[in-house]
Structure formats: C-alpha cells, structure tokens
Structure 1
Amino acid sequence: MSRNILPASLAADHLKIVSTAVPSPTVARWQPAKVKKLAGSACEYCRKRRRKCNGEQPCPLCVDNMQECIYDAIKSETPVQAVKRKHAQMQQDHDELRSLFKVIATANVQKSLEIHNRIRAGQSPEIILQQLKHGDILIQTKINSPKHVRHVLLSSLMQTNASFDDMVEFIGLSVAKTPGVPAPTAALLRQLRGRQTDLRGLRKLLGHSQPPPPQRRIAISDLLSDQGSQPFATAYPISTKPEPDDHIETSREPIYKVPAKPWTRLTDDDDLVSHLISLYLEWVNPFFRVLEEDLFIKAMQSGDLNSEYCSPFLVNAMLGYACLYSEREGAFYQPDDYITRGQHFHDEAFRLWHLEEGTASLRNLQGLAVMYPGCIMRGKDKLGVALCAVLTQLNLSVPYTPQRSPSGVEPNSDEIRAFQRARKSVAWSAFACDMATANTLLQPAWHTVCKEDLPTLDELPTESTHVWTGYPHRNKDDRLDKSVMWIAHCQLIQMTWKAQRLLYASDRNDLQFLSRVEALTEEMSHWKNDLPKELHFRKDLPAPVYDLYSCYTCVIIALYSLFQPLGSAQSPQSEQNSPFEQNPECQHPTPPHHISEATQTSAQTLSAQTMRQRAIATAQDMAAIIGNFRHQYGLKITLPYFVNANGVVCFTLLQDLDNPASAAAFKEAFRCLLGAGMQLLWARGMARMLHLTAQNTGIKLPKAIEACLDAVADTAWTKADTEMLSSCWPNLVIVKDAKIGESVTMEDLIKKWEKFAVDVEEAKGEGMQAKEEEVAIEAMRPKWYIPR
C-alpha cells in the first residue's frame, strides 16, 4: 500500500496554511506530538488500582473518589531515596511504639489508664513520649485527691452562669467541710465537661438539695455592696422564666465536617478537628474575620496542601486557639489543667511557622493573625506583640491579587474576587491586631496611616448571612449578619486608630486637646447609636457581638480617664443612679478656648473630674452588659475583647468602691474575671494583679470578694502561674503615676509584689522567732536579775 508524500517545501507551506484553520485528521499527522510529563511515582490509591496518576497532590482520581492522596515519594526525591526515607520513618515509628509499650508494661494501673486515655483522644506516641520525658503528664495518682477534686469543683463552679453571691454561698456549702454533705469525686465532676450548667444543674449532679425557688431570677440587681442594700440597676432586664430542673445542655454535632489529615500530625480524629474548627468559626472568626469561612472550609475539605486558603500552620493555629474553649480529652495537654489546653497544637503551629521561614503568603498572614490573640489569651502577650510586628510587616508584602498557578494558568474573575475578599479580611484583621497592641503597650500603633478601604456589602457574598447557633453549648437560631458586623467593626477600628494617635502621639498640654477628645467621643457615640438594629444590645444578643461592645468600651474609657491627668478628682458619693440614665453633670463640657493661664489649671481639673465621672458611668454600663453575657452563656467560653473589658472595668472602678453602684458593678466584672481565669492565664493574671493592687494601695475590696478569694486562693492563682506568665498588660491604676523607667506590666508587678510579700512574711517569722527566744530567756532568768 502506497501513500502520497508531499515535497518538503510544499509540506511546510501546507502546514502554514492550515495552522490557522481547524486541524483535520490528516494534518494532525504532520503536527509534532506533545510529550506528556511523566509522574515520578503514583499515589497509593492509583497504584493499587493500576491506574495512571499525574503526580498532582491530590490527583484527579483521588478527588473524584474522595480518597486521601498519599505518595510514597516526594516530588524532589528518587524512588531509592523514597524507600530509604520510608524505612527510616517506619523504624522511628517502631521504636516509639516499643518505648510506649515498655512504659505501659512497667507503669502502675493509674498511669497506664491515663496513657490509654490519651491514645484514645488521638495523641500520637511521639507526643505522649515527649510529655513523659519532660514530666508534663500529671498521671492519675492525684486525680482523686481532695485537693484535685476541690480544684475541679471550683473550676466548674466559676464557669457557671451563677451570680457572685450565689457562687459564694455554694462555695460555703460544697467546698467547706460541712457535715452531712457528700464529697464529690473527680469522675462525677468530669460529667460537667462539654456542658453548660447553672447552680441548679450543679446541685442536682452532686446530689445536693435544691433551695426554695426565688420569686424571680437572681440577676445583677442582686449584687449589693457591703455598705447598703441599694441594687445595681440595669437597663437590660434578665429573663424571669422559671428554670428547668436540669439546666445542663449537651453538645451537638459539629457545624463543619473537616478532615484531620493532612493538616495535622497530632491526631487522626476527624470529629475532634471538626469540633475545634467549628468552635473557632462560630465564636471567634465572626468578629475578627481572619479568614473567609466558605473559602477556608472548601480548601480544608479538599485536602489540597497547595491551596491559598488553608495550610497545616493555619489549621494547627486554629486548633490550638479553639482548645481554650473545648473540654474534650483531645483538647487537654495535661489532665484537668485548663490553662495548658491546646498547648500541643500551639507548639506545633510554631514549629510549622519556623519552617515557613517568613514566607509572605495569604495563609501565613491568616495563621499569624490567629496566633496573636491565642498567645495573649495564654498569658504570653509579649510573644503576641512580637508576632504582631511580624504580621504588620508581612502584610505589606502579600499582593492583593492572586498569582499564577504552578502550571501557569491565569486565575479567572471569580478566583480573583475570592482572593481579594480573603486578602482584605486578613488585612483588616492585621490592622485590628496592631490597634490592640498599641492599647497594651500604651504607645502609637505601627500603622502610621489609618486604613481607609472600608469593606462594603457589594463586595461580600450574599450568603454570608448565617444563623448563629451558639455551638456547642446552646441550640440557638439567632440571625447574625456577619458581614454587617464586620463592617461595623472596621469602622470602630478606624476610630480606635484616631484614639491611639490622640492619646500617644499628641501634646496633652495643648488647649485643643480636650476638644479633640470631645469630638472623637462624639463621633464614637454616633457610631454606636447608628448601628444596625440587629446589633443593638438585647438580652439574647449573639455572643460574638459582645466583643464589639467590649472593644468600644475599652476605647471610650481610655479617652475619658485612663490616661488623663486626673489629679485628686473623685466621683461624688451622690452618683448612685442608674449608669444608663444620662447624668446632667456628664454632659460634654465646653472646651476651654480663650482662658487665662491663671484659670487654666482649674479648668483642666474640672474637665478631668467630669471625664472621670463619665468613665465610671461607662464602666458601670459595661458591667451590666458583662452580667448579661454571664447569665446567657456562662463562662466556659470568653472572648478576647470581653476579657479585656472585664479588666478595664475592674481597674476603672477600683478607686470608686465607696460608691455602692460602683462596688456592685465591680463585683460583677470581677466575678466574670475569676470565671475566665479558671481557663485563661491572661484573665487569671488580671484578677491576681487587681487583688495585689488593692493590697498594696490600701484599697478595701468588698467583703464578699475577699471571702471568695480566700476560698479559691489555691485555685485562682498558683506559683506555677507566676512562672508561666509573660505579660506586658499594664496596671491601669498606677500607670499614670509611674516614674520614668518604672515597669507597670502585669508580669513584673506580680513577681515584684509576691516577692515583697514573701520577704515580709520571712521578716515577720524571724521577728517572731527572736521575740519568742527573748521571752524564753526572760522566763529562765532569776527574779532578782536586773538588765543593764
């Protein structure tokens, strides 16, 4: 069979002509064949089924069949190197399993049971052995000791939604050695994990008799000062519906279903990872909006390690943060130790961040923005400040448009809009972190220019409006437009930046200073009044919105009094009306424009006194909001700005406790600070610093608070907490009077005052011993002895 072959010149001309036309089967024979890029090795799923694999991660076949795409070899290694690496990994796993088996075989029953519980919780042998090596596992030898049971009981009690007085009464009944009251066991108290309860449910669990039902729900108005019976009024009434017999609410299924692999090596438990990710996205992300939920969940479910919207660093950072809100076994780093929850994921996130070597990418920005508040909540805000500096600098290097894919494919319009949406979210989150750092360090923010690109509803997805469910403790169906709240948050952060520049980068002796403060507070007041209706405060407000009011309160109080020269101005004792009623004396004063130098001092004193009154009224207002949060949600989950607002309110009211309204508000804020301190070292440090400040400045705390602190002394603060704390949060009472170079940070003051207390006790002990020796010697001397 013969075929016609065109001459070389004609064949070339023919190919030129048909190159612009639709190719025919004949012409296709003359076109050079494309050389297919062979994959170095196939994944396990394709290899078992003898299917072609393109070497991508994940490959198309695994995606279509929803399988985990696993390769024996890495792209950059040869098959021989892959075999050697796999053999070394198998040898390491074998050694770890043998070591763990040897520990279990030689350990006592309680120790073996604790290791077994950690294995069931999803911890790897490597992590368990590491904890054993460093002595971090507090095995069950002390789990049933009276001291441990008391600690667990007090921790559970502090996290309920009980008021301060109810809590003190219950401590006297359950913690004190009362005859006839059965002592609970640690196993019984562990049933409280993962549940939200009040005193009624706690009494029922412990088998205590219920007190006679009150005529109405005990609320903030029952928090009375020690000097009178006038209640602390609140403009937000608390529900008076009768409580059910058992107010314990069980957890539900996670909102989002995501895989553990390939995102973390610390656990294979998909349900635990789904639970923690749902916790973060439900409670933290609506306010901070570090990431876009839809993009992140889709990327995490795909298992694509090359995705722009998910990475092992980001996932482990989220898991470590969410563990602070979880009571599942896998969240605990040490048994029943709430302070160290999530430390394993937290450390893993830092390990992965070091491997990134400062790479500027969207997902690294998101991971740092998650790590920043996580460090602060753990009482490591010095480390958080360092991360914020890296986040601020790295934010300047990440582009606002997506780059080409490794295969050179240009992104389409939808992909560009999605990337820009996620990029804008994390940019504003970085801006918010910078503002929070400036509040902590009492200095201007690193952002010398305010962000002006406010987000709009047009550029956000319409499906961003969701129902807030309160997972996992409540079954709510509150409507919360997260986009609307985020826009309001960004507007508030802009005003926060203005406050930072006004407080820390302007001359306070300028006659126009007070008028600028008045103008900014007026602007913030308009912002609050103009909030969308769904963000107006009500008793059943979704929990993330509390952070919005907390942030607003912290900035307003700072403008009013915290960093202003107050002199000897004090709040008048007659100011006992509701903090929500407009006080005529708290109207905006007229700024002094044309006044002589002789009257300038008196005008500043009058302005300082007026602003102090307004700061106290604002703190009382926030204490009522804090009480509503405590009543509605308990204190198992406390949000970052909410904890900060608790501390600011307490320090603001600390010097006004002679006022019954301020004393009652202080009790509510301090009660919530104690509850948050059962699980967060940052809040625990605030409560400790408040107590030491009162002791060292001669301020008398209400009797109920002193009684409660005595009862929970070994639970609310320990020596180990002092060693763990690394905080630069300032003492807002003494910061105005501090000398140049004098440290007023939480960490330094607590260590200084505790050392001083120890020295005083030792001196007293030596003095008493010397006095006793002198008395003994005197008794041995003859009656006729006359000293020289």
Structure 2
Amino acid sequence: MYRDLRLGEDRKDSKPSTPSSARLRRSTRTTTWAIFNYSSIYSLNFLKLPPVEPPSIGLPYDEHEIAETDQWSPYPEHGQVTFHWNLMYNKLCELAMICWKISKLLFSSRSKDDMNSSRAAAEAIGEELVIWRTQLPFELRRHSGMAPPIMEVHAISYYASITLMEFLKKPEVVPPSTPTNIEFVNKQDQRTILCVMEVYTLIEIFSKAYTTARPAPSLFQGASVGAFTLIKSLDTPENVPVFTQFCKFVIAGAKHHVLWRGIAGMIRLTAERVGVTLPSALDQELLDVTKGIFHSEDRKTLNNSQYPSYTLAKDMMREDDFTLGELLDKWDSLEIEATNDEGS
C-alpha cells in the first residue's frame, strides 16, 4: 500500500493552502512516517531487509509545531506526565531512518570484497547514532520523570547500536589477526556493554515508576536484546544481576503476549544450545511462564515466528535455526530423539 499509493513521495500541490488542506497534509505526513517507522524498526528487530524506501517528504511537524506540549497517561491510569509528542515524533522519524540504514547495510547480500566498505559504512552509521543522541533536545533527555514513549525511543537507539556493533565484531569484517583489529573488537565489546547498561537503566526507571505489570514494547525488545547479548557472558559476576533483570522484564511481558512467551522460552533454548547454565531460580521462572509454548495454541501461533535469537545470529546473515520457529522445531527433534533413546 505504501508503494502503491506513493505515500513517501513529495508531491507538490498547486492549489492554495487552506486550514483543511494543511490538516490533510499533516495527516498524510504522520501516516506516511508511521508506516516507515514501523517497518524500519521492526525490520531491525527481526534482522530483515526493510520492505519500504524512506519518504522524500518532510518530517511530520514543522518548527513552530514541535514546541507544543501534551499530557500522557498510561493504561491503567497512573497519573499524567507532560509529554512533547510532536518533538518526540520527529526525533523518532530521524531514528527510524538510521535503523533503515542499519538494516539495509547489514542484511543486504554482499561479497567479502565489500566488507571494508561495509565496515566504514557501519562506523559512519554508528557515529550518526551518537550524534542523534547527543543532539536530543532537553525535553527528550533521559530523566526519572520522562514519559515511557520517550524511554522507548532511547531504548530503540541503544539496541540499534548493539546490533550494529555486533556486526562490526564479525571476523570477516575485522579479521582478528593484528593487534589493531583485536583492540578494535575489544572497543566494540566495551561499547556494547555500555549500551546494554543504558537499556538496563531505562528499564529500572520504568519499573520503579510504573512497575513491570505491562512492559512497554520497545523496552521489552531492549530487554530481549540485552538478555541475548549477555547470555554468553554470565561468567562475569556483574553481568548476572543485569541479565536476571532483563529476563524478569521479559517474564512480565510473557504473561500478556504469546510472542513474548515465545521469546522467554527462546532464552532458555538458546542457553541450552550454547551450553550456558542459567541461575536455577531464574531458569525455573522462565520454564513456568513458557510451558505452554511447546504443547498448546501458543505453539501454533509461534511455529512460523521469524523472531531471532540474537545470540545465535551473531553473524547476522545465518539462515539456519536461529529463529523462534526453527528453535522450536529443533526442540521437537531433541524430544523425539530422547524418547527413542529411552525406548531402545
């Protein structure tokens, strides 16, 4: 529909502007950017190529409109927070454009000869993310009283950085053969952990203000990426409480949404796959909330899920058994093998 209706194109209107035409233009812009934002961010979440091209029209809100304030309140009611919707929406559109660039770079087919240029492009996009964060206006900076939609925008920026930095650590991008390259990869590791900790801080702020009864979706995605990023680093003691907090946030969401239950189960399956033993109490919590994904209606819904295990998709391009649906199929195979072994 986006392509068929040419929603992203800037088509000049020769008719004089009227209040109704201005409203229509605004509605068209916000709708167009909403489609683009959704497709770009979810393409990054699922490690896929984005299905649409960026709009060539301007951002939804003009300079004189972005100073308007609004009131935001969660469901169920929990008091109101002053909210700068127009300003936030424009910055979200800018961030979605960066996410689009990341997905376009990481998930396009390319030869090994392209890797040097890909590395340079990835570093340039990483710098764009840093600039985007440093240039956020005061109203959108992180603080304990910010509205959850603003927290979500911050979370998207951090897990976008994590995805990009995982690409920059790939051996074919930076061969680990020289001290300079080893130092570069170590620096990406440090930056990844810093971004993971930023997501952790956002979740702490949200949990204290609103509890974890109804996790915000992009914070949930941040917790998921954080958990998969840390799962192979639990031998570092300070990572364990952070990983546990991410998992508890995922568990809270799993009580409300079938995909989130699947992701909670995927954390356990991934740990098994990479030979990591989870803390026993946490492992039991994950098991309790995800039992239904294997033998119920949940399973029918999740069979074709393309949600990736970020731990198993480190090279970003593998197509073998790192999605939720594929991992569940592998689990079935293991169950059948175990049953056959017991019967023999």
Same fold (TM over 0.5): yes
- Aligned partner of 2:2 among 383, 392, 408: 392
For residue 501 of structure 1, report the CA deviation from its aligned partner: 3.0
Q: What corresponds to 2:77 in structure 1?
A: 473
For residue 614 of structure 1, report the CA deviation from its aligned partner: 1.7
Give the distance between the partners of 1:642 and 1:717, measured in 2 at CA. Answer: 26
SS at match of 2:71: strand
Give the distance between the partners of 1:435 and 1:756, measured in 2 at CA. Answer: 34
SS at match of 1:447: coil
Q: Which amino acid is 2:307 matched to?
A: W
Q: What corresponds to 2:275 in structure 1?
A: 698
For residue 620 of structure 1, report the CA deviation from its aligned partner: 2.3
Give the distance between the partners of 1:750 and 1:564, measured in 2 at CA. Answer: 29
Matches within 5 A, 1:108-119: none
For residue 533 of structure 1, report the CA deviation from its aligned partner: 1.5
Matches within 5 A, 1:318-397: 391-396=1-6
Give the distance between the partners of 2:66 and 2:145, measured in 1 at CA. Answer: 26
Q: What corresponds to 1:497 in structure 2?
A: 100
Give the distance between the partners of 1:461 and 1:401, measured in 2 at CA. Answer: 23
Q: State yes or no: 1:619 paired with 2:229.
A: no
1:400–1:452 CA distance, 2 compared to 1 (3 A): closer
Q: Which amino acid is 2:325 matched to?
A: E
For residue 437 of structure 1, report the CA deviation from its aligned partner: 4.1
Q: Output one character per residue of 1:204-229: Cα deviation in whole Å (capped at 9) or x when no partner.
A: xxxxxxxxxxxxxxxxxxxxxxxxxx
Q: Output one character per residue of 1:719-771: Cα deviation in whole Å (capped at 9) or x when no partner.
A: 33112213111121122469965242211212321x1242144134314xxxx
Which structure shows the bigger proportion of residues in helix conformation? 2
Q: State yes or no: 1:734 paired with 2:312.
A: yes
Q: Which amino acid is 2:121 matched to?
A: R
1:430–1:395 CA distance, 2 compared to 1 (3 A): farther
Give the distance between the partners of 1:546 and 1:739, measured in 2 at CA. Answer: 29
Matches within 5 A, 1:520-599: 520-561=125-166, 563-566=167-170
For residue 710 of structure 1, report the CA deviation from its aligned partner: 4.7
* Preserved contact between residue 251 and residue 261 of structure 2 (Cα < 8 Å): yes
Q: State yes or no: 1:435 paired with 2:45.
A: no
Q: What corresponds to 1:661 in structure 2?
A: 238
Q: What corresponds to 1:424 in structure 2?
A: 29
Q: Which is further off, 419-428 or 739-748?
A: 739-748
1:461–1:481 CA distance, 2 compared to 1 (3 A): closer
Q: Which amino acid is 2:233 matched to?
A: D
Q: TM-score, normalised by structure 2?
A: 0.85
Give the distance between the partners of 1:714 and 1:741, measured in 2 at CA. Answer: 26
Q: State yes or no: 1:650 paired with 2:227.
A: yes
* Preserved contact between residue 266 and residue 327 of structure 2 (Cα < 8 Å): yes
Q: What corresponds to 1:689 in structure 2?
A: 266
Q: Which amino acid is 1:434 matched to?
A: S
Give the distance between the partners of 1:713 and 1:444, measured in 2 at CA. Answer: 29
SS at match of 2:52: coil
SS at match of 1:457: coil
1:395–1:461 CA distance, 2 compared to 1 (3 A): farther
Q: Output one character per residue of 1:178-225: Cα deviation in whole Å (capped at 9) or x when no partner.
A: xxxxxxxxxxxxxxxxxxxxxxxxxxxxxxxxxxxxxxxxxxxxxxxx
Residue ranges of structure 2 left out of the alignment (5+ in a row): none
For residue 699 of structure 1, report the CA deviation from its aligned partner: 0.8
Q: What corresponds to 1:636 in structure 2?
A: 213
Give the distance between the partners of 1:529 and 1:655, measured in 2 at CA. Answer: 31
Give the distance between the partners of 2:211 and 2:156, measured in 1 at CA. Answer: 20
Give the distance between the partners of 2:243 and 2:123, measured in 1 at CA. Answer: 26
Q: What corresponds to 1:269 in structure 2?
A: none
Give the distance between the partners of 1:718 and 1:460, measured in 2 at CA. Answer: 52
Quote the sequence identity (%). 21
Q: Output one character per residue of 1:139-164: Cα deviation in whole Å (capped at 9) or x when no partner.
A: xxxxxxxxxxxxxxxxxxxxxxxxxx
For residue 548 of structure 1, report the CA deviation from its aligned partner: 0.3
Q: Output one character per residue of 1:660-686: Cα deviation in whole Å (capped at 9) or x when no partner.
A: 222111111110001001011121111
Q: Which amino acid is 2:322 matched to?
A: V
Matches within 5 A, 1:200-215: none
Q: TM-score, normalised by structure 1?
A: 0.39
SS at match of 1:479: strand
For residue 523 of structure 1, report the CA deviation from its aligned partner: 2.4
SS at match of 2:116: coil
* Preserved contact between residue 8 and residue 55 of structure 2 (Cα < 8 Å): no
SS at match of 2:3: helix
1:504–1:672 CA distance, 2 compared to 1 (3 A): same
Give the distance between the partners of 2:39 and 2:47, measured in 1 at CA. Answer: 12
Q: What corresponds to 2:330 in structure 1?
A: 752
* Preserved contact between residue 33 and residue 55 of structure 2 (Cα < 8 Å): no
Give the distance between the partners of 2:115 and 2:17, measured in 1 at CA. Answer: 54
For residue 636 of structure 1, report the CA deviation from its aligned partner: 3.4
* Preserved contact between residue 215 and residue 252 of structure 2 (Cα < 8 Å): no
1:717–1:549 CA distance, 2 compared to 1 (3 A): farther
Q: What corresponds to 1:444 in structure 2?
A: 49
Q: Output one character per residue of 1:680-705: Cα deviation in whole Å (capped at 9) or x when no partner.
A: 11211111111011112211112331
Q: Output one character per residue of 1:304-335: Cα deviation in whole Å (capped at 9) or x when no partner.
A: xxxxxxxxxxxxxxxxxxxxxxxxxxxxxxxx
**Which has the greater radius of gyration?**
1
Q: What corresponds to 2:85 in structure 1?
A: 482
Q: Output one character per residue of 1:2-34: Cα deviation in whole Å (capped at 9) or x when no partner.
A: xxxxxxxxxxxxxxxxxxxxxxxxxxxxxxxxx
SS at match of 2:70: strand
* Preserved contact between residue 623 and residue 665 of structure 1 (Cα < 8 Å): yes
Give the distance between the partners of 2:8 and 2:120, measured in 1 at CA. Answer: 39
Matches within 5 A, 1:41-440: 391-396=1-6, 413-440=18-45
Q: What corresponds to 2:253 in structure 1?
A: 676
Give the distance between the partners of 1:399 and 1:484, measured in 2 at CA. Answer: 22
Residue ranges of structure 1 left out of the alignment (5+ in a row): 1-390, 404-409, 568-590, 768-788
For residue 502 of structure 1, report the CA deviation from its aligned partner: 2.9
SS at match of 2:82: strand
* Preserved contact between residue 400 and residue 419 of structure 1 (Cα < 8 Å): no
Give the distance between the partners of 2:138 and 2:148, measured in 1 at CA. Answer: 16
For residue 415 of structure 1, report the CA deviation from its aligned partner: 0.6
Q: CA RMSD in A?
A: 3.2
Q: Output one character per residue of 1:518-567: Cα deviation in whole Å (capped at 9) or x when no partner.
A: 33222211221221212111222211112101210121001111x34545
Q: Which is further off, 492-501 or 733-742?
A: 733-742
1:719–1:674 CA distance, 2 compared to 1 (3 A): same
* Preserved contact between residue 557 and residue 615 of structure 1 (Cα < 8 Å): yes
Give the distance between the partners of 1:544 and 1:664, measured in 2 at CA. Answer: 25
For residue 430 of structure 1, report the CA deviation from its aligned partner: 1.3
For residue 482 of structure 1, report the CA deviation from its aligned partner: 0.5
1:564–1:760 CA distance, 2 compared to 1 (3 A): farther
